[in-house]
Chain A
Amino acid sequence: MSQIRALIVDDSSVMRKIVERSLRQAGIDLSHVIEAGNGVEALGLLDSNTVDLILCDINMPVMDGLELVRHLQTIDKLRGVPVVMITTEGSESNVIQALSLGAKGYIRKPFTPDQVKEHVLPVLGV
């Protein structure tokens, strides 16, 4: 697997660090990790950064994760970037909505590193 540039979007800085650690524990070779606290911050960072993977919470202030996924689908250069939702909002309706908007995977909090591995590696084609 080649080196991966990842964007982690969560309003909790603790959770962003846990997600990054879980990705590394999953054996994903991260070359570059950028972090955003909401969807608007994420879109700003994506203006000037290229990423291979986006991990995204749903329930965030300013712009939530579902809205971010919706925006990503309208931007040509970002439409193909795989998004995996990591969220406490694990209801079936949320999963269906996220996947229908374009998310490629869905992980419910609390999660183990093995669950991160199970859901993230396939979207990276591993």
Chain B
Amino acid sequence: MTPSSERLSSTTAFDRTSWTHLLEFAACEVFDIMLGTRLQPYTSQAVAANDEFTALVGLAGSLCGVLSIRCANQSARIMASLMLGMPPEEVDNDSWDALGEVANMIAGNFKGKLSGIGNHCMLSVPTIIVGSDYKTRSLGPGKTLEAVFDFDHKPLWVTLEVHD
């Protein structure tokens, strides 16, 4: 998954393989440009940490769903430090903010790569969940795409739940 300036596109019709690829590409591009980090797939068994942060961004319009990014507290702190150019120990509540902004950019980048979607799909402001003991439930049928990356030797989940 090597980010480049290449613009990928797809039709609006859901296709799991190509949409998952676009989701991975959108995430890699955001991390490459905004954090100076090249994401790689997480190859070990991904186990959730107890001290997790999750950022949620809703999509509404011609594409409805929720994009989420989930990682350990320490990973979010490192993200903020890379974005701000400051040591991780100096990052405070900025780690929540940074994770939300990364989710927002991935969602925007992803929808922008889908031909015909971007003009008719709006994003919500991000919501941050602290902790891992929660469940989400969609009210309608949908499909879930997920990519798990290695970020600072810890798993980072990027998930898109698409509502029918």
CA distance A11 to B33 in the complex (A): 20
Contact B104 A88, beta carbon cutoff 8 Å: yes
Summarize A's interface: helix, strand, loop or mixed: loop
Binds B, one of A45-53, A68-76, A109-117: A109-117
Instruction: Identify which of A15-23, A27-35, A98-106, A118-126 touches chain B.
Output: A15-23
Contact A13 B112 (CB under 8 A): no
User: Which B residue's beta carbon lies closest to that of A11?
Assistant: B125
- Checking A11, A14, A112 against B80 with a beta-carbon cut-off of 8 angstroms, the contacting residue is A14
Q: A110 contacts B30, CB within 8 Å?
A: yes
Q: A59-B123, A88-B123, A91-B119 are in contact. Are A12 and B85 (CB under 8 A)?
A: no
Task: Indicate whether B74 reaches chain A with its CB closer than 8 angstroms.
Answer: no
Tell me whether chain B's interface is mostly helix, strand or loop, or mixed. Answer: helix
Question: Is the CB of A60 closer than 8 A to any CB of chain B?
Answer: yes
Residue of A nearest to B112 (CB): A90
Of B33, B101, B118, the residue contacting A14 (CB under 8 A) is: B101
Total contacts A-B at CB 8 Å: 65
**Residues of B15-41 contacting chain A, CB below 8 A:** 29-30, 33-34
User: B107's closest neighbor in chain A, by CB?
Assistant: A88
Q: Are A14 and B98 in contact (CB under 8 A)?
A: yes
Asked if residues B33 and A60 are in contact (CB atoms below 8 Å), the reply is no
A108 to B26, CA, bound (A): 13
- Asked whether A91 lies within 8 Å of B118 as measured between CB atoms, the reply is yes
Q: Give the 3 A-B residue pairs with the shortest CB-CB distance, closest first.
A: A88-B108, A91-B118, A110-B33
Question: What are 30 A-B pairs with beta-carbon distances under 8 A?
Answer: A11-B125, A12-B98, A14-B84, A14-B94, A14-B97, A14-B98, A14-B101, A18-B34, A21-B85, A59-B104, A59-B122, A59-B124, A59-B125, A87-B108, A88-B104, A88-B105, A88-B109, A89-B108, A89-B123, A90-B108, A90-B118, A91-B121, A92-B118, A92-B119, A93-B119, A108-B108, A109-B108, A109-B109, A110-B33, A112-B33
